[in-house]
Structure 1
């Protein structure tokens, strides 16, 4: 009996010792997936890598393993993968989930965000508060905001005016831009940005819109004759935040959450400083590769916005629940 009592006491002491050891109880590995090239200077990959490094340095029992280049999950499947627990984090073009939540289409709306400074004001607006509420209602949380400017590229000619797109096969990044291109007489090719190079090479697409970062990362200067850069009349801005599954977030303790929040703030500040440089790097890279680079005049930008108002904006307001109010909130940010 005495022997059994001693064993019970020892078992109790061991249980207490294990419970009091945070490294055993709290160590966690998070899987961060994204579609962008890794180790090649893509700013979106670097944001996620920065967060991983800084969280590791904080020594709070969290390791973030980064899977770039769609090596773990296909680009458009990452939203569902976060909700199901297949992945924990992602750098994600939010419009890719607009098939599930059509309101997200407003984060890739022609002419809605006009500049990098304007994007920062949008982040603090009621418009973005509404978008983030929908994100959270669906089991995901924003860790870091990121807005990327973008451009148009033509395989055989420059695209300046809406009529330049007539008859072209255009790869477009999302529904709202697709509607604008279609309104200008183009036919739409729907593929993610990491498949654009091959599509242009094989003649499946003759033109594309995408982010400045992707134009460089995916070496599209090898396939294009002319680039329409953002300049002072940017039409293309896309919200590509770093996200975490709320299921994962809720498993973290306060120290782990604080470390992840601090690392994400630092990554966001880095991105904000680098985002304008992406446009400059794109222009420099395309010119170096003998690609013609043009920008839109005020009149040309207005002509595109007029097409967008009749197509993208109207359809969004008519068909998306709360769409009209979302657009009005975004347009009120000066």
Structure 2
């Protein structure tokens, strides 16, 4: 059995199970980020269980670069990570469905997806790479317009926009927008200099990059939102299986608590972004159910169509996701 554990493993039982170990967890975010807080909850929960298992966290891409964590995890060179699963879409094309416009309506819908046959199918793909999910979680995002509101496909015609992910670029281009690809950290300057008319990114990025200083209208994630990105906490499967039953139980229990925290904090991030933009005097425009369905219809002809064409078994996986109410 492959054990993706660090050199600090103290001893092994006769069965080969680990009795004392340090696991290394990597992620790309700062220590103030919600995803670091999730990682800390798991580490602290395991430590409190007193099962001779310690999780050492390496934040801010200090161990592996942001988009270079999945392969080391799969190969057993890294024990745990928190990352957007779509980063590994080149390894498993089915993962691209975890950053797809209109697939998730809101956070409660995301939670139902996490318990669905769709997620079970995604987890089967993870297992092929010797990876398993401990904590499921989605973070949401919205739209901002420099001069006008963006709630429906009709609002994008002729606009120069930044989109968060390839699938969103495909959909927004289908709505008549011109796409300017850039990191979310570049949105502020691009709006300030007239390069961008609109932007799509996460709730937290809208706040942390002070986009409220450059826009007239904000469409936050609320009862309906288009942008949801699956960002789980993962572990090397063989590493988990090599732990003692007590260590596995402690890790599973801590992860369940962290998952519940993740869901509630993700909702708070959206609410906080709304508050910040309102206080800055930015108009708030909520997306309606009818507008959401118009976006999904457009995505069906653009992003979904491209995914199905590019992904073996893509239609079956897409149908599983869309079947979750």
Pick the TM interval, shorter chain.
Answer: 0.7 to 0.9
Aligned residue in 1 for 2:4: none
Q: Return closer, same or farther for 1:300/1:176 CA change in 2, 3 Å cut-off.
A: same
Write the mapping of 1:216-295 to structure 2, written as runs, cut at 5 A: 216-295=207-286
TM-score (norm 1): 0.82
Q: Return closer, same or farther for 1:203/1:139 CA change in 2, 3 Å cut-off.
A: farther
TM-score (norm 2): 0.85
Aligned counterpart in structure 1 of residue 155 of structure 2, from 139, 151, 164 = 164
Deviation per residue, 1:31-83 (Å, 9 max, x gap): 222223313xx322211111111112222222222222333332222212322
Are 2:28 and 2:61, in contact at CA under 8 Å, matched by a contact in 1?
yes
Q: CA RMSD in A?
A: 2.6
Q: Return closer, same or farther for 1:50/1:218 CA change in 2, 3 Å cut-off.
A: farther
Aligned residue in 2 for 1:214: 205
Determine the C-alpha separation between the residues in 2 that align with 1:306 and 1:326: 18
- TM-superposed CA distance for 1:232, in Å, is 2.7
Aligned residue in 1 for 2:310: 319
Determine the C-alpha separation between the residues in 2 that align with 1:82 and 1:57: 25
Q: Return closer, same or farther for 1:200/1:265 CA change in 2, 3 Å cut-off.
A: farther
Are 1:37 and 1:217, in contact at CA under 8 Å, matched by a contact in 2?
no
Determine the C-alpha separation between the residues in 2 that align with 1:52 and 1:192: 30
Residue 37 in structure 1 maps to residue 36 in structure 2: no
Aligned residue in 2 for 1:6: none
Aligned counterpart in structure 2 of residue 154 of structure 1, from 136, 145, 148 = 145
Determine the C-alpha separation between the residues in 1 that align with 2:252 and 2:96: 26
Q: Which structure: greater helix fraction?
A: 1
- TM-superposed CA distance for 1:212, in Å, is 2.2
Residue 65 in structure 1 maps to residue 65 in structure 2: no
Q: Return closer, same or farther for 1:203/1:26 CA change in 2, 3 Å cut-off.
A: farther
Write the mapping of 1:113-192 to structure 2, written as runs, cut at 5 A: 113-191=104-182
- TM-superposed CA distance for 1:200, in Å, is 5.4
Secondary structure in structure 2 of the residue aligned to 1:210: strand
- TM-superposed CA distance for 1:156, in Å, is 4.6
Aligned residue in 2 for 1:77: 68
Aligned residues: 311
- TM-superposed CA distance for 1:168, in Å, is 4.0
Find the structure with the greater CA-based Rg.
1
Secondary structure in structure 1 of the residue aligned to 2:234: strand
Determine the C-alpha separation between the residues in 2 that align with 1:293 and 1:44: 27
Determine the C-alpha separation between the residues in 1 that align with 2:187 and 2:259: 27
- TM-superposed CA distance for 1:195, in Å, is 5.9
Are 2:12 and 2:19, in contact at CA under 8 Å, matched by a contact in 1?
no
Aligned residue in 2 for 1:103: 94
Determine the C-alpha separation between the residues in 2 that align with 1:298 and 1:226: 19
Deviation per residue, 1:188-233 (Å, 9 max, x gap): 4445556655665676655332332333344443454432112332
Determine the C-alpha separation between the residues in 2 that align with 1:191 and 1:257: 41
Greater shift in the superposed pair: 185-194 or 288-297: 185-194
- TM-superposed CA distance for 1:302, in Å, is 3.1
Q: Return closer, same or farther for 1:308/1:59 CA change in 2, 3 Å cut-off.
A: same
Residue 28 in structure 1 maps to residue 21 in structure 2: yes
Q: Return closer, same or farther for 1:62/1:220 CA change in 2, 3 Å cut-off.
A: farther
Q: Which runs of 5+ in 1 are unaligned?
A: 1-17
